[in-house]
Amino acid sequence: MNGKKEHRVSFSKSNNKWKVHDREDKAKTHVRAKTGEQITWEATDSDIYFQFPDASVFGEHTMMVEKGRKLTLTVGPNATSGEHHYAAFCYDDKIFAEGDSPPKIVIER
């Protein structure tokens, strides 16, 4: 992690719905991060495809992580403050995960 703050995010399935949440606190459904901090998503039960409408947050519009692996991205220096919604598609069930529906990252300065 090289001294950077890391936010760990997981996916869980309940009643045929996928949820995005903080790894330690399932009630926390969004991430509050600052530029330079890392966000790690853990795909334990499905391949996950991500869509980030604002490429300034991570420098990419789309990413994917395979089942059983992790995806770690660093919030870029050009990320604008405020809410950034994204989509997380759970490939095995062909359904989008919910968070704050859609999930979001809040960039703070």
pLDDT tens digits for range 40-85: 999 999 999 999 999 999 999 999 999 999 999 999 999 999 999 9
Where do we find the tokens 């050009």? 78
Q: What is the pLDDT of residue 23?
A: 94
Q: What is the pLDDT of residue 1?
A: 45
For 71, phi then psi, to 5°, come to: -120, 120
| Backbone region of residue 106 per phi and psi (left: phi > 0; alpha: psi in -120 to 50; beta: other values) | beta
Q: Per-residue pLDDT for 2 more than 60?
A: no
Quick one: which of 56, 43, 45 has its CA closest to 105? 56
Q: Per-residue pLDDT for 5 more than 80?
A: yes
Q: Are strands 69-74 and 38-43 parallel, antiparallel or unpaired?
A: antiparallel
Q: What is the pLDDT of residues 79-104, one digit of tens each?
A: 999 999 999 999 999 999 998 788 99
> In the structure, what pLDDT confidence band is assigned to residue 3 with cuts at 50, 70 and 90?
low
- Ordered by where they begin, the domains of the chain are 6-107 (2.60.40.420)
